[in-house]
Amino acid sequence: MKTLKILYIEDDSENRSDLIEALSGQVINGQTIEIEGEATFEVGIRRIHDFHMVILDLYKGKAGDEGETAGIQLLDLIQKNMFIPVIFYSGTTAKVNDFRSQVIGIATKGDGGIAELKQEIKRLSDHNLPYIREKIHQHINNKLRDYFWEIIQKKKDIFKPEDQDYSLGYLLLRNIGNSLSKKNIINILEDLSINKNEEKVHPMEFYLYPTDNSNEYESGEIITNIHDKVFYVILTPSCDFIQRKNKGGKRKADNILLAKANPLSTTEPFQKYKKNKDKGPLSELIRSKNERYFFLPGTPFLQNMVVDFQNKIMVNYEDLRLNYERIAKLDSPFAEAMATRFIRYYNRVGFPDIDVDYILNHLD
């Protein structure tokens, strides 16, 4: 059974002792709670790195409108320096109620407060979020150890000390990046929610989110027009966005090809399904059986959508930069699959059906 290490920062010694006594040794979400208290916010911030979750009192000193909201100040410091799930536990939570999210919990002291706090601990520990920092550190440390001792050192006849024409750091980091396969990610997280059916993919596996706006555009990016909120997918090959130094920084592509992505709910197969529960056409659309379409599964940041390769527009680069918001990018191999489908759709050659009856009637 896992141990969930929690730091409770509370300047009232009685409240601190009561909560530690109430939670110590409790089993929540299959995890044994190990909780320690800290009286000052200043010392608490220095100790956070050793824990999986932190519970914060909101006020320093007396609670109320005049009290110093040291908990919010500490949250700001945490957000600037590291990641750890946070729960505000206070008798007055009006100032932080809007903070509640997938990584911040809110519980109110008083009757039912401990039960509410336990529920928030359970919620925030779903999918092993408190352990991500620790698990990633372990994974990187293991890859670092194995790469240099088991590969580089043992192949010193290949990687000679006097040679300076390669970067071991680059090879290592590419190796670490390549190690983050679906199987290894599941092992790192110990989260089987995305692997309920090993032969199928979870919608989250389709995307890289959010788009890093500091990087150049790429094929497979999902964007939306900031004026009419219509979604598109970039079809122009990623290599065409590269600025060529020998061409004065000019890109290969002056104009960018986009394919419109329509909400699934607006499609004819979806309407038929809503009307008569006919799953056939909708199922084929979702499985992208027709090469004209490519299905984009819904997530919290994107509704179910269908890319229509017949519905295309061209925009110049400056228009793309000024009038479109970058939402997400299709991950590999889905970006490549979409590009291949688009090429295959426009390269297809149709021909009349052969007369099967004629062939059958003339068989020996």
pLDDT at 155: 86
Distances (CA, A) of 175 to 12, 151, 179: 49, 12, 6
pLDDT at 61: 66
- The strand pair at 104-108 and 86-90 is best described as parallel
One pLDDT digit (tens) per residue for the chain, 364 residues: 899 999 999 999 999 999 999 999 999 989 999 999 999 888 888 999 999 999 999 887 666 554 568 889 999 999 999 999 999 999 888 889 999 999 999 999 988 899 999 999 999 998 888 999 999 999 999 999 999 999 989 988 888 777 666 688 888 898 998 888 877 887 777 766 666 666 778 888 899 999 989 999 999 999 999 999 999 999 999 999 987 766 666 888 889 999 999 999 999 999 999 988 888 999 999 988 889 999 999 999 999 999 999 999 999 999 999 999 999 999 999 999 999 999 999 988 877 888 888 888 888 6
Percentage of the chain lying above the pLDDT 70 cut: 93
Global pTM value = 0.80
pLDDT at 200: 79
Three-state helix/strand/coil letters over 219-258: CCEEEEECCCCCEEEECCCHHHHCEEHHHCCEECCCEEEE
pLDDT at 75: 94
CA–CA distance, 13 with 137 (Å, rounded to integer): 34
> Which domains, ranges and CATH numbers included, belong to the chain?
2-128 (3.40.50.2300), 132-189 (no CATH), 204-347 (2.30.30.110)
CB atoms within 10 A of CB 87: 21
Name the 3-class secondary structure at 54: strand
CA–CA distance, 127 with 185 (Å, rounded to integer): 12
261 burial via Cβ count (<10 Å: 0-12, 13-18, 19+): buried
Residue pLDDT, tens place only, 76-109: 999 999 999 999 999 888 889 999 999 999 999 9
